[in-house]
A and B are shown apart, each in its own frame.
Chain A
């Protein structure tokens, strides 16, 4: 199977870029904290795609990229746990998960 012949690296990068910016847009635009968290997950996944793709295309005989993708996933899981814990606490405190209503930490 020769993936390089059928799907060039550029496609992968374009994909990851699109996923990244979709995630970013989600984080910036969505007001719901859970949705924002999803956006963050998307961004992380975009990074994962890059790791794996670069590893595969540029250094096919090494595995660091794949390892890193795995670590990112693990961290993402942990981060999601903490983030959701935070969101639950925020909900308890403010009775909302709307990010606009949570602006205590300002000037």
Chain B
């Protein structure tokens, strides 16, 4: 098969970005929106076509990685060469499908949602830039190419979060997102430096092949008690944790909700935030074979984050923030699955993680777009301003309900399948983590239905403007995504995307599935009793444990800790003294040299008094001294 047309998938959004970005204010906004959407539609079709071709044309037992395109971009050393290329393997092809689908839905949705906004063209050019970078990230053939696009998605995320740049909170959120992920990227970069130095290659094919330099000849150098590979892999995971907002680098994601809601759906729910999962999955063989310790770290970080975020999600009032924390929690699931996974026939976790990534993309995008639709109708983010919307917005209501059921893991919706696989994998590896994830499944159902009931049922309040159903540009994506959420569970994922490319044998474990569904239903029921109708129970529960509640509501005060570190330690204790030191000590020394010269010349110039007799005196004494000196020397 010739896959060189996949180059178009990358180039088209980039050209769109340049075109809309440069000419955006010269053409009609609607036109740039339509142009962007058409472009994404084309690449979506191309991606599906690629996926179809790839998955139906298997040569041999396993799926092989194909380099569809390779272009020498920058040679660094003899071996370390940055290529820009396109790598097609089950993982990247699956991601192509996910990204283009969600991106297309968001493009269509935004036509309605962003209608009449100032900077409509700018919005579409940034969306194209993001799509380009994200696609580039997943098809990267080498780790450095991935890093390039990794940075680009970071910037597109920055630009899109800060879309409403006149709102200080949006500006601050964008800055925070960029800097936190940048900090994580520093780890990623150092990890790449270490890894590439010892393996002498950037290329994924070489790095992840079982007989490649990274796995077959791992370096045994120990540094500070850990092997250097573990260091490298942990640092690379740090990059992934930053983008995927794992604890403790999660603080940027809730704030990132300042961006327009479709952006949150695309970037901060479905695609960019799973880049960390993708990164770990991409390098999974190295993690598995050379540094199982770092896999354990990934598992614990993922598990902790998922529990932590689920608890916070139960207390938040801003519906987008609830969804943001739910995203954190779900990505935690994916990380756990990777952490507990083995390789080859043991690779259930790997498959489950990516399966969850796949289904999560659809239902989380759906949730965000649904939330956007609600916000569009009531002009508020707070669930306290909502209630009883089901009669005004029937389509949004039904699709949102489907999404909630999916994320809660109710069979036969897709979330059930993927989450079940993760729980099975966790159960086989680590019982404690399994218990945590099982609990989180219940919590997830609880807070999602808390959200659902608060928006669509609860009180039948009066609205200033009667809410109405969103236009069809917004509801069509909702319906398509609802269908995808409902049925994507039936994709034979275990035959397609596995750690070694071979089909994986999976079986249904009733022993796991029944309790997990049971806990989800329990969560829904509890939530129904509290929030289905307006009552005082939630408030009294919150009051009864007010301290704990406030603690959770303020997200465990992690933001404040960071704020303290950046402002009081880095700014006040490093930057300010450095600036002071430079002005006063370093520059002061230079000025001191100058001033000393001036001072001494001030003393010496007094000798030039204008009094002739003094000059004679100096002259004579000098002459006498010279004479004496000569006499003495002789």
Chain A residues near B (Cβ < 8 Å): 24, 27-29, 31, 36, 99-100, 102-107
Q: Which of B605, B610, B620 interacts with A103 by CB under 8 Å?
A: B610
Residues from chain A with Cβ under 8 Å of B611 in the complex:
99-100, 103, 106
Which chain B residues have a beta carbon within 8 Å of chain A's beta carbons? 605-606, 608-613, 616-617, 620
B616→A107 contact, CB < 8 A:
no
B613-A106 in contact (CB<8A)? no
- Among B605, B613, B617, B620, the most chain A Cβ lie within 10 Å of the Cβ of B613
Q: Could you give 9 example pairs across A and B, Cβ below 8 Å?
A: A24-B616, A24-B620, A27-B613, A99-B611, A100-B611, A103-B611, A106-B609, A107-B605, A107-B608
What residue of chain A has the Cβ atom nearest to residue B614's Cβ? Answer: A28
- Set B610, B616, B617, B620: member contacting A106, Cβ < 8 A: B610
Chain A residues whose C-beta falls within 8 Å of the C-beta of B620 in the assembled complex: 24, 28
Question: Which of B605, B608, B610, B616 is within 8 Å of A27, CB to CB?
Answer: B616
User: Complex: how many Å from CA A36 to CA B616?
Assistant: 11
How far apart are A77's CB and chain B's nearest CB, in angstroms? 22
Contact A106 B612 (CB under 8 A): no
Of B605, B612, B617, which one neighbours A99 at CB under 8 angstroms?
B612
Residue of B605, B609, B610, B616 near A28 (CB, 8 A) is B616
Number of A-B contacts (CB under 8 A): 32
Cβ contact within 8 Å between B617 and A28: yes
Return the 4 tightest CB-CB contacts between A and B, nearest first: A106-B610, A103-B610, A107-B605, A107-B608
Q: Nearest residue in A to B604 (C-beta to C-beta)?
A: A107
Which residue of B has the minimal Cβ distance to A106? B610
A107 close to B613 (CB less than 8 A)? no
Across the interface, name the chain A residue whose C-beta is closest to B608.
Answer: A107
Q: How far is the CB of A36 from the nearest CB of chain B, in Å? A: 8
Query: Once bound together, how far apart are the Cα atoms of A100 and B609, in whole Å?
Result: 10
Report A-chain residues with C-beta under 8 Å of the C-beta of B609. Answer: 103, 106-107
| Interchain nearest-CB distance for A18 vs B (Å) | 16
Bound: A27/B605 CA distance, A: 23
Quick check: A28 and B608 within 8 Å, CB to CB?
Answer: no
- Output the nearest chain A residue to B617 by Cβ-Cβ distance: A28
Q: Which chain B residues lie closer than 8 Å to A106 at the CB level?
A: 608-611
Which residue of the partner chain B has the closest CB to A105?
B610
A40: nearest residue on chain B (CB-CB)?
A: B616
Decide if B606 touches A28 in the complex (CB within 8 Å). Answer: no
**Inter-chain pairs besides A102-B612, A106-B611, 15 sampled, C-beta below 8 Å:** A24-B616, A24-B620, A27-B616, A28-B616, A28-B617, A36-B613, A100-B611, A102-B610, A103-B609, A106-B608, A106-B609, A107-B605, A107-B608, A107-B609, A107-B610
* Distance A31 CA – B613 CA, assembled complex (angstroms): 9
B598–chain A nearest beta-carbon distance, Å: 13
A86 to B610: give the CA distance in the assembly, Å: 16
B613 to chain A: closest residue by CB: A28
Nearest-neighbour CB distance to chain B for A101, whole angstroms, equals 10
- From residue A32, how far is it (CB to closest CB) to chain B in Å? 11
A88 to B605, CA, bound (A): 29
> Which residues of the other chain, A, contact B616 by a CB distance below 8 angstroms?
24, 27-28
Looking at the assembled complex, report how far the CB atom of B116 sits from the nearest CB atom of chain A, in whole angstroms.
76
Q: Residues of B contacting A28 with CB < 8 Å?
A: 613, 616-617, 620
Q: With the chains together, A68 CA to B244 CA distance in Å?
A: 103
- B634 to chain A minimum Cβ distance, whole angstroms, is 19
**A contact residues around B606 at 8 Å (CB):** 107
Write out the residue numbers on chain B whose beta carbons fall within 8 Å of the beta carbon of A102: 610, 612
Q: Which residue of A lies closest to B601 (CB)?
A: A107
B605 to chain A: closest residue by CB: A107
Scoring A29, A100, A107 by chain B CB atoms within 10 A of each residue's CB, the highest score goes to A107
Interface centre among A99, A102, A106 (most CB of B within 10 A): A106
Roughly how many angstroms separate A28 CA and B621 CA in the complex, as a whole number?
12
**Residues from chain A with Cβ under 8 Å of B612 in the complex:** 36, 99, 102
List chain A residues, Cβ under 8 A from B613: 27-29, 31, 36, 99
A107 to B611, CA, bound (A): 11
Most buried by A among B605, B606, B616: B616
Question: What CA separation (Å) do A103 and B610 show in the bound complex?
Answer: 4
Docked Cα-Cα span, A95 to B612, in Å, equals 18
How far does the Cβ of A19 sit from chain B's closest Cβ, in whole Å? 15
Question: What distance in Å separates the Cβ of B588 from its nearest Cβ neighbour in chain A?
Answer: 28
The minimal Cβ–Cβ distance linking A97 to chain B, given in whole angstroms, is 13
Separation of A99 and B612 alpha carbons in the complex (Å): 7
A53 to B563, CA, bound (A): 96
Cα–Cα distance between A102 and B609 once the two chains are bound (Å)? 11
Closest Cβ of chain B to A39, distance in Å, is 10
Cα separation A69 to B228 with both chains bound (whole Å): 96
Q: How far is B611's CA from A100's CA once the two chains are assembled, in angstroms?
A: 6
CB contacts (< 8 Å) of A27 on chain B: these are: 613, 616
